[in-house]
Amino acid sequence: MCVVPAGAEPTEFKENRIAMRDFLTRLGIEEMNPGASDGEWFGSGGELESFCPTAGERIAVVRQASADDYDRVVKRAGKAFETWRMTPAPARGEVIRQLGLAMRDHKKDLGMLVSYEMGKILSEGEGEIQEAIDIADFAVGLSRQLYGLTMHSERPGHRMYEQWHPLGIVGIVTAFNFPAAVWAWNAMIAAVCGDTMIWKPSSKTPLTAIAMQKIANRVFADNGHEGVMNLVVGRGSEVGERMLHDRNIPLISATGSCRMGRRIGEVVAGRLARSILELGGNNAIIVTADADPALVLPAVVFGAVGTAGQRCTSTRRLFVERSVFDRTAESLIKAYKSLTIGDPLDEKTHVGPLIDEGAVKEMEEAIAKAVEEGGEVLVGGKRCDRPGNFVEPTIIKAHKDMKIVRDETFAPILYLFEYGDLDEAIAMQNGVDQGLSSAIFTTNLLSAETFLSHRGSDCGIANVNIGTSGAEIGGAFGGEKDTGGGREAGSDSWKAYMRRQTCTLNWSRELPLAQGVHFDL
Ligand code: NAD
């Protein structure tokens, strides 16, 4: 199935690596990069190397933030907040409009960097930057719509209304698989809300963070604002933990595994601050007997193997109605056999590498466990015999008593189930701890509405005739249960980045008390 001969060092990787240095230079990535920025660049912590998951070469080294560096960044973000919060929201939106334009100018280079450092295919790398641009556009419009409600007061001559104020410094913790877009979902919205922020990216993808931060620094400096968007590259257990415990940070927005989310949720709740948690998924598609196979096939294959199964919304479980099970399984196996696995920068490639050796091991362990529990590998199932972290996208025929199907294995494994009636399929879909994304493929209105009803999908995202991955930024994004309950991006997600104030204004010459209480002096 692998297109490159076993054991060979693919020549296209070598050529790409040479071309690569050009775009790294254009993005300001050097051999040694300082990993903290509050407008200026510095870093006095240990060294962190970033490796290309495709061929394993070291791309560059980052000088991480020390505890002192972190404290300096917090100080600068706090100072910047004093002026940024007093800048009118539409003027803040104007800076974000310029940032969106700057990201457009660098879209190609940034997309290549995402692809090079994280391993997703080029069109997904560019798509990720497009998502960052889209959320910038959304935030620009939002900067003129940070509205509150007015209510009728029970007291005569009184007016009551809600207003929304900036919150302060927002801590943004991001996962490796969306090294640019997840920051943008948070940063663009937080910025127009009047917050300043500190970004702690994944240590697996620090260079993308540095490139995005450099662009932001330039745009903010041109507008006379520094310290609004800040970066600290460092380990979760060091800089990350410092941020969680820091009472200067009223909100931590964290994207990553459920394990990480539990820790962050506990610590942040322990100091009565807020968190937005965007955690792991275990997403499923239900295919009814009347579903259109021409839609099912591309949606399932892209959902399961896109980004090499390393999306929070990747399709991990597929429930197919008994009468169309064999036909669906056959067409999926055929499609999987035609996939091109290889260099993510090659436009013909469908599936790039996993992020690192650890991810390959986790996939191998999950497959072994599935087989032990009675699963049957229908296609794939192995690591590719070539350099880099390449694996074969895998389909496993599964049954509902298997424990492994309850876990999110961050790799291209699709568990395939047969079902009898829709209620059974919905129960199996909901019968896991995570609750991020879900979909049904059907041409039957009743099945579609049942899936979307109160007794249907229990996930934050529920789609009809659309796969589980690739959400648009206009809607609120996030999931229920162990996925953490947070919402980011569109709709009214902005409210989480602001503090609500209820104001009652007395324009009468009396002082009536609420609830008719008398207190005569
Ligand atoms: P991870 O949990 O290993 O790391 C995520 C981030 O948390 C990293 O920046 C890491 O350094 C940081 N971190 C870890 N421990 C920390 C601590 N104690 N304090 C502060 N920061 C800490 O996740 P990953 O492997 O980078 O990403 C994959 C996971 O992310 C998957 O579970 C995936 O589903 C999830 N994810 C969820 C969404 C979503 O929106 N729901 C989006 C993308 C990824």
- The model's pLDDT over 98-110, given as tens digits with 9 standing for 90+, comes to 999 999 999 999 9
Domain match, 265 and 306 both: no
Percent of the chain clearing pLDDT 70 (strictly above) = 96
Structure confidence at residue 16 as a pLDDT band (50, 70, 90): low
pLDDT at 4 over 60: no
Domain match, 377 and 287 both: yes
> Does some domain include residue 481?
no
Domain match, 330 and 420 both: yes
> Ligand 1 atom 16: the closest Cα is on which residue?
236
Number of domains in the chain: 2
> Ligand 1 atom 15: the closest Cα is on which residue?
236
pLDDT at 139 over 60: yes
> Does some domain include residue 128?
yes
Within 13 Å and on the Cβ side, how many CA atoms surround 521?
A: 2
Domain match, 431 and 296 both: yes
Domain match, 258 and 298 both: no
Which of 208, 260, 310, 488 should be mutated for ligand 1, with most atoms under 8 A from CB?
Answer: 260
Domain match, 182 and 262 both: yes
What residues line ligand 1, using a CB cutoff of 6 Å? Answer: 173-178, 182, 200-203, 236-237, 240-241, 244, 255-257, 260, 263-264, 278-281, 312, 408, 410, 436, 479, 483
Residue matched to tokens 């109160």: 454
> Does some domain include residue 353?
yes
The tokens describing 372, both together, are 């032990």
CB 450 within 8 A of CB 427: no
> Does some domain include residue 60?
no
Which pLDDT tens digit goes with each residue over 295-354? Answer: 999 999 999 999 999 999 999 999 999 999 999 999 999 999 999 999 999 999 999 999
What pLDDT, on a 0 to 100 scale, did the predictor assign at position 5?
33
Residue 512 is classified by DSSP as P
Domain match, 191 and 215 both: yes
pLDDT at 447 over 60: yes
What pLDDT, on a 0 to 100 scale, did the predictor assign at position 19?
61
CB 335 within 8 A of CB 301: yes
Structure confidence at residue 233 as a pLDDT band (50, 70, 90): very high
**Arithmetic mean of pLDDT, 157-183:** 98
Within 13 Å and on the Cβ side, how many CA atoms surround 432?
A: 29
> Ligand 1 atom 22: the closest Cα is on which residue?
236
**Arithmetic mean of pLDDT, 371-384:** 98
> Is position 312 annotated as part of the catalytic site?
yes
> Ligand 1 atom 40: the closest Cα is on which residue?
278
What pLDDT, on a 0 to 100 scale, did the predictor assign at position 18?
54
Question: How many angstroms is it from 221 CA to the middle of ligand 1?
Answer: 30
Distance CA 120, CA 115 (A): 5
| Cβ-Cβ contacts under 8 Å for 196 (sequence gap 6 or more) | 77, 78, 80, 81, 84, 168, 169, 170, 190, 227, 228, 229, 230
What pLDDT, on a 0 to 100 scale, did the predictor assign at position 7?
37
Domain match, 435 and 293 both: yes
Which residue type does 112 have?
M
What pLDDT, on a 0 to 100 scale, did the predictor assign at position 55?
86
Distance CA 481, CA 489 (A): 19
The beta-strand segments (E) located in 123-269 are 150-152, 158-166, 169-173, 196-200, 229-232, 251-255
Domain match, 290 and 433 both: yes
Question: How many angstroms is it from 427 CA to the middle of ligand 1?
Answer: 28
Handedness of CA 214, 220, 226, 227 (dihedral sign): negative
**Arithmetic mean of pLDDT, 91-96:** 98
Of 2, 193, 258, 312, the catalytic one is 312
Distance CA 27, CA 311 (A): 25
Q: Which domain holds residue 222?
A: 81-279+487-500
CATH number at residue 215: 3.40.605.10
> Does some domain include residue 243?
yes
Which pLDDT tens digit goes with each residue over 390-442? Answer: 999 999 999 999 999 999 999 999 999 999 999 999 999 999 999 999 999 99
What pLDDT, on a 0 to 100 scale, did the predictor assign at position 15?
54
Distance CA 327, CA 321 (A): 11
Structure confidence at residue 6 as a pLDDT band (50, 70, 90): very low
> Is position 278 annotated as part of the catalytic site?
yes
Give one DSSP letter per residue of 43-77, joined into a string: --S-EEEEE-TTT--EEEEEE---HHHHHHHHHHH
> Does some domain include residue 381?
yes
Which atom of ligand 1 lies closest to the CA of 235? 11
Percent of the chain clearing pLDDT 90 (strictly above) = 93
- A 10 A CB-CB count for 396 gives 23
Domain match, 296 and 349 both: yes
> Ligand 1 atom 39: the closest Cα is on which residue?
278
pLDDT at 9 over 60: no
Give one DSSP letter per residue of 177-190, joined into a string: SSTTHHHHHHHHHH
Chain mean pLDDT for the chain: 95
pLDDT at 20 over 90: no
Which pLDDT tens digit goes with each residue over 33-55? Answer: 999 999 999 999 999 999 999 98
> Does some domain include residue 516?
no
| Cβ-Cβ contacts under 8 Å for 507 (sequence gap 6 or more) | 157, 158, 159
pLDDT at 11 over 80: no
Domain match, 457 and 491 both: no
CATH number at residue 421: 3.40.309.10
- A 10 A CB-CB count for 322 gives 11
Domain match, 233 and 92 both: yes
The tokens describing 352, both together, are 């790039």
